[in-house]
A = this chain, B = another copy of it.
């Protein structure tokens, strides 16, 4: 029997951003699948509905891949695929497996020789990089920086140095409710002529994306409290 295909399905980054984020092919794929692996069943069902799912929700099989379930073997989720069913994999926002858990499920699919098909959709990392005007031919994403203040400070200075040495754009994120103190740390740690791009609420109506020097940011500090944001540092060689 032929195995099913694992579709990696991006999810909107902002409420109401479906038309900005989803392709017709993605919506058709949703309507052709009845089994999903998701991070949170409730929000995933809402997402599917908003995306344009016409299949009755009661006919869906949903595997909740939430934090407390992660000690379940990934192979549990792949039984349907082995039996020939196509399966959709979604995270809470953006692209599954990128700045999000789930890469282990994809890795397991490759080990089992299951076809993996990534669908086009919104990634805050990619959109911020495009819009930063920084080097898009060499860049690195680090996820969250260390929480300890001294470690974090050292890490930011490290990234600034790496950017200067390699001409590489440095990308990182913070938990939205810690954005303001985090930005403060970045503005204090970096050199005045280093460039910083702040991208917040990407694809929302109040999307904010600006690149300025650290010196210019220090003059006018934006309020990022509770706004999903991404930070990019760049220092020209």
A118 contacts B209, C-beta separation under 8 Å: yes
Contact (A140, B126) CB under 8 Å given A131-B118, A133-B97: no
- Cβ of A132 within 8 Å of any chain B Cβ, yes or no, is yes
Q: Which residue of B lies closest to A110 (CB)?
A: B211
Which B residues are CB-close (under 8 A) to A108? 133
A162 to chain B, nearest CB (A): 10
A60 to chain B, nearest CB (A): 22
Which B residues are CB-close (under 8 A) to A71? none
Interface size bracket, A side: 35 or more
Which B residues are CB-close (under 8 A) to A88? none
Show 16 A/B contacts (Cβ-Cβ < 8 Å), sorted by A.
A19-B28, A21-B120, A22-B23, A24-B24, A99-B136, A99-B137, A106-B130, A106-B131, A106-B132, A106-B133, A107-B133, A110-B212, A117-B209, A118-B127, A138-B141, A140-B140
Bound Cα distance from A219 to B106, whole angstroms: 22
Which B residues are CB-close (under 8 A) to A186? none
Q: Which residue of B lies closest to A119 (CB)?
A: B20
Which B residues are CB-close (under 8 A) to A121? 120
- Cβ of A224 within 8 Å of any chain B Cβ, yes or no, is no
Bound Cα distance from A210 to B103, whole angstroms: 14
Bound Cα distance from A135 to B101, whole angstroms: 9
Bound Cα distance from A209 to B6, whole angstroms: 12
Bound Cα distance from A130 to B99, whole angstroms: 10
CB-CB contacts of A207-227 with B at 8 A, as 1s and 0s?
A: 101111000000000000000
- Cβ of A229 within 8 Å of any chain B Cβ, yes or no, is no
Q: Across chains A and B, which 7 residue pairs bring their CB atoms closest together, nearest first?
A: A107-B133, A106-B133, A140-B140, A98-B136, A118-B131, A20-B25, A118-B130
Contact (A103, B168) CB under 8 Å given A119-B20, A120-B127: no
Which B residues are CB-close (under 8 A) to A203? 120
Partner of A133 from B104, B123, B133 at Cβ < 8 Å: B104
Which B residues are CB-close (under 8 A) to A97? 129-130, 133, 136
Given A100-B137, A126-B126, 5 new contacts (CB under 8 A): A97-B136, A99-B136, A105-B133, A106-B130, A120-B121
